[in-house]
Structure 1
Amino acid sequence: MSTVTNFLEELKQESETTCKMLKIIPEDKYEWQPHVKSMTIKQLSSHIADLTNWIPLAFDTDELDFAVVPYSPATWNNNEELLDLFEHSFAEAKAKLENAKDEDLTPEWILRNGDQILGNLTKGGLIRIALSQTIHHRAQLGVYLRLLDIPIPGSYGPSADDQSF
């Protein structure tokens, strides 16, 4: 199986799990955060919903310079809009991977803030980071939800909330 095919299968699997998590965010807790240094649930959810946009970014650009294009999270007001944002991001990422070849993953891609290089990797490396960050931040969201006593859906099998132990 090619690397692109592996990325595509992983994207599909992780997107199903991510969607389950985003669906259960309590709308009355968008501004909740477990610590003053932590993102709010809304900020974290926006970041999660947006991360798969980095896959088309990998194929369509050679770099991202925050000094030129500052990060601006998408705006949404309710869970339906959040899920629409996520589904749109997922669909674009899926389409890019469906039309890619392994050799498209090897060119260099740079993340910078003006002259400061934040990351110098391959386009495939950026896709790996986008998928890994989705998983990482989704787990972080799971902790937020657990602290709010919200049952957590399973990710790679049942969660403690899905079955009796």
Structure 2
Amino acid sequence: MYHKISDFINDWTYESEATLKLFNNLTDESLTKKVNENVRTAERLAWHITTSISEMAQRTGLSFQAVNENSLPVTVKEIVDAYKTSSKNLLNEIKLKWTDETLQQEDEMYGEKWKRGKTLSVIINHQIHHRAQLTVVMRLLGLKVPGIYGPAKEEWTNFGMAAQE
């Protein structure tokens, strides 16, 4: 749970950049390829990450242009642009409308009462959760997966080491 807006801003800035790093390794062709009947496509995962930002934030009273969850993108560029806009809008709304004290206020969230500091944590953790799913789908599609919290398999050579198995 966040107690300071500045802590959220720092974390969101990193996580948002990490998400864009991942999205930018998608290809238009990879978006709709199905790896398994029970697994979302890369398009669905990336779009869910993107649309969830405004969906969750709006439950707290923040208001900014929402991305239509049902209007699936056709290109990676559309996903990246929509994500950048949603991410920027979230930060702008929080900077303008919230204070550290605001993080203690509670909102109705999915049948429960959450402090806004918790909601911000959930927004970040939700993104990380689905981003991890997306990396698995990307591997199965033969796409390069960038390192986010450390080197990815392909990046070990940059450190003069063999890829870890």
How high is the TM-score relative to the length of structure 2? Answer: 0.81
Unmatched segments (≥5 aa) in structure 2 = 63-67
Aligned to 2:90: 93
Give the TM-score of the pair, scaled to structure 1.
0.81
Matched, 1:81 2:74: no
SS of 1:157's equivalent? coil
Q: Residue 29 of structure 1 contacts residue 41 of structure 1 at CA under 8 Å; is this kept in 2?
A: yes
Find out whether 1:131 has 2:124 as its counterpart.
yes
Matched AA of 2:76? N
Taking only aligned residues, the RMSD between alpha carbons, in angstroms, comes to: 2.2
Percent of aligned positions that are identical: 23
**Does 1:11 pair with 2:12?**
yes
User: Across the two proteins, how many residue pairs are aligned to each other?
Assistant: 151
Query: Is the 1:56–1:92 contact (alpha carbons within 8 Å) kept by the matching residues of 2?
Result: no
Q: Runs in 1 of length 4+ with deviation above 4 angstroms?
A: none
> Which 5+ residue runs of structure 1 have no aligned equivalent?
62-70
Measure, in 1, the Cα distance between the counterparts of 2:79 and 2:17.
15
1:110 partner letter: E
Paired position in structure 1 for 2:155: 162
Q: Contact conserved, 2:53 with 2:90, CA < 8 A, in 1?
A: yes
Matches within 5 A, 1:1-165: 3-54=4-55, 56-60=57-61, 72-99=69-96, 100-112=98-110, 117=111, 119-164=112-157, 165=162
